[in-house]
């Protein structure tokens, strides 16, 4: 472990982004992710990069749109209320097929909500990032190491598919420190012949645009984009299975909820309850095949969430009625304790014996 350093999750994201070749960061202060901006403000000037504090989240995402148009790697980060402001830009980025990398270190909502950890932007990230038909790749780290790794991966995926990838973390992941290894393999740079870098009078002009006034053209554009999304679903699903081999109960959880659930699973196993976990690492594309397969083996699912029950809808769709799916949740910045999750497991376990 000699090569490991202790870092906050937010700092790990920032350093990993720099390692991934990101030299442009735009953001607006909001708790609990300001360490990312602070880190970038310190580092970028020293490596010839740009850190700019924008006048708003809206301006920041549009600065991202500008840099993305030139084909360079660029990012912004924010927390829940700020992501709402960015949703206009996220839609335009999707409509113009631009690669970009966005971080949401979630806090409790709705409205101004609170500043403590939450996962209640799941719907927003996976289903409704903005107006129009589009998707974003949504990555859910559950450790500081993954905050860093998924950042590098997120940049690679964004370039590969010309779309936005988003880290959906929470205040705990952002604020906690864990050992991190920053030894990454960076993918080969992707050619971007579409970028607006100036014609040099050597080619036709490039246009970055999301306006298609002819319905047939717009329809075709959408169909083609969704073919690309199908490829993403086929190739890019990531998940972790934990003690699922003999599991009779399957917990579904991501991020901090998965960390808490692991403790509960260990305790439940001590009591002879066969429980395991599927932890989605990509929330979109969602590991639906894995949940469908699990539904053939287990007799119940428990979705552990820091929301009023958002991911549970995707689990139910994947399970398709083959097993009951119940919710174990805390919201508003509260985090379920391992005991609360254990209670939920025991309840489901006993319910099954009746």
Contacting another protein (CB under 8 A), which of 132, 189, 198, 351? 198
Show the binding pattern over residues 130-169: x = contacts another protein (CB under 8 A), - = does not.
Answer: ----------------------------------------
* Residue with smaller CB distance to another protein, 162 or 319: 162
User: Closest separation between CB of residue 202 and another protein, Å?
Assistant: 7
> 């995926």: which residue's tokens?
157
* Residues 267-326 close enough to bind another protein by CB under 8 A: none
Tell me if 237 contacts another protein by CB under 8 A: no
List, in order, residues 6 or more apart from 115 with CB less than 8 Å away: 31, 32, 79, 107, 108, 171, 333
Contacting another protein (CB under 8 A), which of 70, 84, 222, 326? 70
Separation CA 256–CA 253 (nearest Å): 8
- The Cα-based distances of 344 to 130, 142, 261, 268 in angstroms read 35, 21, 11, 10
- Half-sphere CA count of 91, side-chain side, radius 13 A: 15
The structure tokens listed for 137 are: 């790749």
Among 153-161, 203-211, 221-229, 279-287, which window interacts with another protein (CB under 8 A)? 203-211
- Half-sphere CA count of 105, side-chain side, radius 13 A: 31
Tell me if 4 contacts another protein by CB under 8 A: yes
SS3 269: helix
Among 183-191, 196-204, 270-278, 342-350, which window interacts with another protein (CB under 8 A)? 196-204
Tell me if 240 contacts another protein by CB under 8 A: no
For residue 48, the 8-state DSSP code is T
User: Closest separation between CB of residue 293 and another protein, Å?
Assistant: 25
* Residue with smaller CB distance to another protein, 44 or 323: 44
Separation CA 239–CA 290 (nearest Å): 9
User: Closest separation between CB of residue 104 and another protein, Å?
Assistant: 17
Among 67-75, 133-141, 225-233, 321-329, which window interacts with another protein (CB under 8 A)? 67-75
Residue from 317, 4, 325, 51 nearest 183 by CA: 4
91 close to 130: Cβ distance less than 8 angstroms: yes
Separation CA 332–CA 288 (nearest Å): 28
User: Closest separation between CB of residue 74 and another protein, Å?
Assistant: 7
Binding residues (CB under 8 A) for another protein: these are 1, 4, 6, 24, 26, 31-32, 50, 52, 54-56, 58-60, 62-70, 72, 74, 88-89, 92, 96, 115-116, 171-172, 175-179, 196-202, 205-211, 256, 259-260, 262-263, 266, 335, 337-339
């Amino acid at each position: 472990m000699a090569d490991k350093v202790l870092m906050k999750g937010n700092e790990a994201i920032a350093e990993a982004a720099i390692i991934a070749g990101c030299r442009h960061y735009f953001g607006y202060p909001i708790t609990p992710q300001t360490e990312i901006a602070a880190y970038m403000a310190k580092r970028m000037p020293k490596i010839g990069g740009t850190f700019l504090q924008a006048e708003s989240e809206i301006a920041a995402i549009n600065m991202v749109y500008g840099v993305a148009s030139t084909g360079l790697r660029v990012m912004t980060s924010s927390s829940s209320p700020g992501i709402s402001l960015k949703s206009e830009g996220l839609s335009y980025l999707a409509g113009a097929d631009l690669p970009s990398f966005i971080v949401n270190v979630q806090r409790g909502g709705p409205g101004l909500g609170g500043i403590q950890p939450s996962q209640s932007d799941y719907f927003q990230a996976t289903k409704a990032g903005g107006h129009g038909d589009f998707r974003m790749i949504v990555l859910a780290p559950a450790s500081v190491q993954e905050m860093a790794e998924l950042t590098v991966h997120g940049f690679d995926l964004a370039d590969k598919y010309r779309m936005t990838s988003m880290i959906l973390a929470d205040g705990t992941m952002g604020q906690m420190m864990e050992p991190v290894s920053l030894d990454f393999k960076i993918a080969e740079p992707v050619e971007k012949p579409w970028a607006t870098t100036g014609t040099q009078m050597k080619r036709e002009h490039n246009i970055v645009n999301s306006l298609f006034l002819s319905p047939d053209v717009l329809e075709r554009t959408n169909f083609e984009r969704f073919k690309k999304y199908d490829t993403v679903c086929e190739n890019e699903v990531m998940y972790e299975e934990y003690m699922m081999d003999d599991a009779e109960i399957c917990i579904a959880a991501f991020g901090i909820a998965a960390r808490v659930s692991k403790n509960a699973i260990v305790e439940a196993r001590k009591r002879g309850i066969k429980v395991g976990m599927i932890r989605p690492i990509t929330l979109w594309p969602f590991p639906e095949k894995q949940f469908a397969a699990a539904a053939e083996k287990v007799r119940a699912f428990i979705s552990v969430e820091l929301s009023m029950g958002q991911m549970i809808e995707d689990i139910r769709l994947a399970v398709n009625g083959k097993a009951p799916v119940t919710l174990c949740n805390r919201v508003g910045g509260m985090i379920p304790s391992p005991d609360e999750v254990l209670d939920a497991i025991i309840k489901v376990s006993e319910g099954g014996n009746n």
